[in-house]
Amino acid sequence: MCSRPPRIPTSCHFSDSSYFTTRLQNVWSSKGQQRGLTHFQPDKKGSSTPSKESPYLISQELIAPLPRPPFKFHLASFDLETRVSLDRIFNTFESISIYTDGSKRDDRTGCAFCVRENNISTSEWIAQLKPRNSVFQAELIATKEACTWASQSNQPFKICTDSKTSLHSISSLKTNSPLAQHIQSILLNFPNIKLGYIKAHVGYAGNEAADLLAKKASSERIPTQYPAPKSFLKKKLHAISTQLWQNEWDNGETGRNFHLKLLKVKTSPATCQRPEIMLATGQGPFPIYFKRFDLRTTECCSCGELGTPLHFATSCRLASSYHFTKPSSDLEHLWWKRVLNDTLSRIQIRKLINFMLKNEDNLFPPN
């Protein structure tokens, strides 16, 4: 029996925290020195090159997608309840505070954080994401970069965010977000960092500064790559499958009468009752339909004509009380479109089908 392919390289062992210690060391150090944040700006070809003049700070780690953290924390070591504040608003006047924010508008996504000390911004970081990235990802990326920045010092830091959704994801042991799991690993290794919630747009200078930076980042051409969220992939796949479905519906050979009523396919149920579907598709109490399955010996009605849905709806003398005006052959498609889209006509169709179901012995010749 074939085993399920592993999600992580088999050469790596994650029975302890050594993997993340090594991973974080690779992120924070380069050739034995702390890397921290690096000045970057895009060149003419679209790639990013180091520059001392660039006013923005971009983490090199964001340029390449992060792998999904292949681990789950043990409940005994997961002690973030006192480190992540959800229910109460953070006191932002103690120690140094870091404010994070994410922004998405007009298919432009950005994230940022700023470090505030004595009500003065001392450090800033911004990054532009792709249109496919969600604002939830932007919030988590900003928080992750803020945690990475704060982890380079033993000084206590408070990271403030106005996104309760991201805080709930970070504080949950069962989160499936790679970004949230990455933040959890940093918090568990560096107890000097705390996360908390603050209300947006109520006068916090740091929050307003981070919001402006995130909006500015969404319009700056700073190359940053991060995998699209599942919601984006689901939306794209849904659009592709819907288009394929629509093409098959438009170019099909069956159900053409009903196509006149339902021009566009959709996943929600159509507002049609069973009798209307029977008449439009011809899959109902009609001799021509029963003959296809050898349930009748003839395709004719008791009046001698071919027992089609249009015959019973327009010309059969046994169902004259429920007749519609018979269309000419070249206008038959317009007749179906009008009848199936008219409320009173649909009521009459239901009466016709119910009458036929109750009087099959009189309408159909005996076998």
First and final C-alpha spacing in the chain: 56
Report d(CA 328, CA 13) in Å as an integer: 77
Three-class SS state of 264: coil
pLDDT for residue 255: 87
Query: Given CA atoms 152, 157, 160, 163 in this order, what sign does their dihedral have?
Result: positive
pLDDT for residue 93: 56
Tally of helices (H runs) and strands (E runs) in the chain: 14, 11
Tokens, residue 79: 């002690």
Whether the CB-CB separation of 225 and 130 falls below 8 Å is answered with yes
Whether the CB-CB separation of 101 and 210 falls below 8 Å is answered with yes
Shortest CA distance to 210 belongs to which of 107, 42, 97? 97
Spell out where the chain has E strands: 29-30, 33-34, 38-42, 48-50, 57-58, 84-89, 96-105, 108-117, 120-129, 157-161, 193-197
Sheet holding 57-58, edge to edge: 48-50, 38-42, 57-58
Shortest CA distance to 147 belongs to which of 112, 118, 187? 187
Read off the pLDDT band of 149 (50, 70, 90). Answer: very high
Report d(CA 95, CA 116) in Å as an integer: 10
Strands 157-161 and 96-105: parallel
Enumerate residues 6+ apart whose C-beta is below 8 A from 3: none
Question: What is the mean pLDDT of the segment spanning 339-355?
Answer: 95
Q: Which residue has the higher pLDDT, 220 or 363?
A: 363
Read off the pLDDT band of 186 (50, 70, 90). Answer: very high
Task: Read off the pTM.
Answer: 0.62
pLDDT for residue 226: 86
pLDDT for residue 73: 72
* Residues forming a β-bridge with 364: none
**What pLDDT, in 10s, does the model give residues 287-328?**
999 999 999 999 999 999 999 999 999 999 999 999 999 999
Q: Which domains does the chain have, with CATH numbers?
A: 75-231 (3.30.420.10), 256-363 (no CATH)
Q: Where are the alpha helices (DSSP H) in 64-197?
A: 135-150, 164-171, 178-189
Q: For residue 6, is pLDDT > 80?
A: no
pLDDT for residue 204: 87
Three-class SS state of 300: strand
Whether the CB-CB separation of 62 and 226 falls below 8 Å is answered with yes
Three-class SS state of 326: coil
When the pLDDT of each residue in the chain is averaged and rounded to a whole number, the result is 80
Q: How far is CA 40 from CA 51, 56, 221, 223, in A?
A: 6, 7, 11, 9
pLDDT for residue 221: 64
Q: For residue 336, is pLDDT > 70?
A: yes
Report d(CA 95, CA 158) in Å as an integer: 7
Read off the pLDDT band of 82 (50, 70, 90). Answer: confident
Check residue 67 and report its DSSP letter: P
Query: Given CA atoms 86, 92, 96, 102 in this order, what sign does their dihedral have?
Result: positive
Whether the CB-CB separation of 197 and 162 falls below 8 Å is answered with yes
Task: Kindly state the percentage of the chain with pLDDT values over 90.
Answer: 51
